[in-house]
Amino acid sequence: MDKKKNLSDISIPTNNANFKIGIIVSKWNESVTNALKEGAVQTLLESGVPQNNLFVYDVPGSFELPSAAAMLLDANDEINAVICLGCIIQGETRHFEFIAQATANGIAKVGIEYGVPVLFGVLTCDTAEQAEARSGGTHGNKGVEAAASCLQMLHTHKKMHRK
Ligand code: DLZ
């Protein structure tokens, strides 16, 4: 049992070989977002999603995550879900609240508009230390959590379809 503290109980369903999943990664605070990406990719691969079914793209910052998720869903109608990964850290100005709000609202909106899971794997932290702790440190890895939630949502979606 992993002693690292995660915010949620991570249970991962099986039978994931047919899912095609987009992963959009913000380059801002890149060492943190790379760790989120590694956590998400590793979790998906270990859960049986083939490497060829992962579609990974970079964007400049978290603000671009929602539009890139929509762009990907428009460009490729085989994609079943999109995981958005980013790291927003509080600075001296009010940028944090504007970017964090727009990113969270935008990601939620894309999921609702397209009717597919669009995951919020974005850290919103006061300090770089908090971000490191949540990207493979003492508080787990939000990329892992986002990937696990993605698979849970895909199976929930599958159950909703009429037989
Ligand atoms: C501009 C900006 C700032 C100041 N801080 C962050 C941050 O902490 N995390 C992040 O993901 N992005 C940041 N950005 C960039 C914006 O998300 C966006 O890329 C730019 O405003 C261009 O639209």
Question: What average pLDDT score do residues 58-72 get?
Answer: 98
CA separation for the pair 136, 143 (Å, rounded): 9
What pLDDT sits at residue 9? 62
SS3 144: helix
Ligand 1 center to 135 CA (angstroms): 18
CA proximity to 33, closest of 73, 65, 1: 65
Residue that has been written with the tokens 């085989």 in this structure: 78
Distances (CA, A) of 142 to 33, 93, 94, 147: 10, 25, 24, 9
Q: Which residue segment(s) compose the domain that 102 sits in? A: 21-162
Q: Which amino acid is at 12?
A: I
CATH number of 29's domain: 3.40.50.960
Residue 16 lies in a domain: no
Mean pLDDT, the chain, rounded, equals 94
Residue 2 lies in a domain: no
Q: pLDDT-derived band of residue 8, with 50, 70 and 90 as boundaries? A: low
Residue that has been written with the tokens 């083939």 in this structure: 50
Residue that has been written with the tokens 């504007």 in this structure: 98
Lowest mean pLDDT segment, chosen from 53-57, 91-95, 138-142: 91-95
Residue 12 lies in a domain: no
Q: Which of 95, 139, 155, 161 is catalytic?
A: 95
Question: What average pLDDT score do residues 98-116 get?
Answer: 98
Count of domains forming the chain: 1
Whether the pLDDT of residue 4 is over 90: the answer is no
CA separation for the pair 100, 122 (Å, rounded): 9
Residue 78 lies in a domain: yes
Q: For 118-141, write each residue's pLDDT tens digit.
A: 999 999 999 999 999 999 999 999
Whether the pLDDT of residue 5 is over 80: the answer is no
Rounded to 5 degrees, φ, ψ at 104 are -65, -50
95 classed as catalytic = yes
Ligand 1 center to 106 CA (angstroms): 14
Residue 115 lies in a domain: yes
The pocket around ligand 1, CB under 6 angstroms, is made up of: 26, 28-29, 60-64, 86-89, 91, 95, 99
Whether the pLDDT of residue 77 is over 80: the answer is yes
